[in-house]
């Protein structure tokens, strides 16, 4: 069976600087796949390319058998790929509810949108309690919940999360990771970019280590979590 997402020999450059140097990986429906690696490895560039925000230099991206190369960002959202970006990028002056509505900008089913906003409030009660408040008043972890809630509003077949744990307290981080686990149990397919390798590998079915634009190691989350080189480089062990 064909994977939901297939990335083949993808290369992406900023001018002359090649940030992604020919990576290949796939994501099966129902899986959580993680890309781990340090700052500058090319993880964010990869996600932005999958979303249609950057154009690949070479390679092939296929989603549900359809080639995504050259497809516009809006169309990619409508095909079922949602992106919760690094740094959350919520709209601080808009209310929480308005931010969620923006995640449904391509949908016309008003009743369905209202139901999904209610589901977001069930999943994240704090968002419901503060629905009329400016999103900028939320804490970092709450803003991350909003960013995830907003991405889910497009009813994605694949949810891409870029460093959801960034800048969060350990408790908030655990909460966000638990939410990702719940989404996985509910059948959501997730591509997770993380610098927190321990947390990401613990819940991922498969993982790939990225280093300066290349995938240097791949395995199940479990395999990578116990891999000696991963433990040394990313889990802070001697
Ligand atoms: P981070 O966690 O910091 O986002 P990352 O693994 O996601 O790291 P990228 O942000 O994809 O890495 O960056 C990959 C490389 O591309 C880095 O060398 C970075 O400096 C470079 N880069 C990223 N954005 C740009 C840009 N807009 N213009 C030029 N170079 C860029």
Per-residue pLDDT reduced to its tens digit, 32-86: 999 999 889 999 999 999 999 999 999 999 999 999 998 999 999 999 999 998 8
User: pLDDT tens, 83-104?
Assistant: 998 888 899 999 999 999 999 9
**Residues in contact with 33: Cβ distance below 8 Å, sequence separation at least 6, in sequence order:** 25, 26, 27, 190, 191, 192, 204, 205, 206, 207, 208
| Complex ipTM > 0.90 | yes
> What is the distance between the alpha carbons of residues 196 and 165, in angstroms, rounded to a whole number?
7
pLDDT score, position 3:
93
Cα(238) to ligand 1 centroid in Å equals 28
Number of Cα atoms under 13 Å in the Cβ half of residue 155: 12
Nearest CA to ligand 1 atom 4: 44
Tell whether the model's pLDDT for residue 117 goes beyond 80: yes
> What is the distance between the alpha carbons of residues 86 and 94, in angstroms, rounded to a whole number?
19
Counting Cβ atoms within 10 Å, is residue 126 exposed (0-12), middle (13-18) or buried (19+)? middle
Q: What is the DSSP letter of 136?
A: G
What is this structure's pTM? 0.93
Cα(165) to ligand 1 centroid in Å equals 18
The secondary structure element, H or E, covering residue 130 is: none
By the 8 A CB rule, do 123 and 175 touch? no
Domain 5-90+156-234 has CATH 3.40.50.620: no
Cα(110) to ligand 1 centroid in Å equals 38
**Residues lining ligand 1, Cβ inside 6 A:** 14, 17, 19, 37, 39-45, 86, 195
> Kindly report the CA angle at 34 between 30 and 37, in degrees rounded to 5?
175
Ligand 1 pocket test, pick from 10, 14, 165 with the greatest ligand atom count within 8 Å of Cβ, gives 14
> What is the distance between the alpha carbons of residues 44 and 38, in angstroms, rounded to a whole number?
11
Residues linked to residue 17 through DSSP beta bridges, in sequence order: 14
- Domain residue limits, the chain: 5-90+156-234
Tell whether the model's pLDDT for residue 236 goes beyond 80: no
> What is the distance between the alpha carbons of residues 55 and 49, in angstroms, rounded to a whole number?
6
């Amino acid at each position: 069976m064909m994977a939901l997402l297939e990335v083949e020999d993808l290369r992406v450059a900023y001018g002359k600087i090649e940030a992604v140097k020919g990576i290949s990986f796939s994501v099966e429906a129902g899986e959580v796949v993680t890309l781990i690696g340090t700052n500058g490895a090319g993880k964010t560039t990869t996600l932005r390319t999958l979303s249609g925000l950057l154009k690949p230099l070479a390679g092939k991206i296929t989603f549900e058998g359809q080639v995504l190369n050259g497809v516009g960002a809006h169309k990619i959202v409508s095909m079922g790929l949602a992106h919760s970006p690094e740094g959350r990028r919520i709209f601080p002056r808009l209310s929480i509810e308005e931010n969620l509505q923006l995640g449904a900008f391509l949908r016309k089913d008003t009743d369905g949108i209202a139901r999904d906003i209610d589901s977001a409030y069930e999943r994240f009660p704090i968002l419901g309690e503060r629905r009329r408040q400016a999103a900028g008043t939320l804490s970092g972890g709450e803003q991350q919940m909003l960013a995830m809630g907003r991405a889910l509003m497009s009813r994605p077949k694949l949810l891409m999360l870029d460093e959801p744990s960034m800048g969060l307290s350990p408790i908030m981080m655990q909460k966000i990771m638990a939410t990702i686990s719940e989404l996985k149990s509910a059948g959501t397919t997730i591509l997770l970019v993380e610098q927190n390798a321990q947390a990401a590998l613990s819940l991922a079915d498969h993982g790939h280590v990225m280093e300066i634009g290349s995938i240097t190691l791949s395995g199940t989350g479990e395999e990578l979590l116990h891999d000696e080189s991963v433990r040394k480089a990313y889990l802070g062990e001697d």
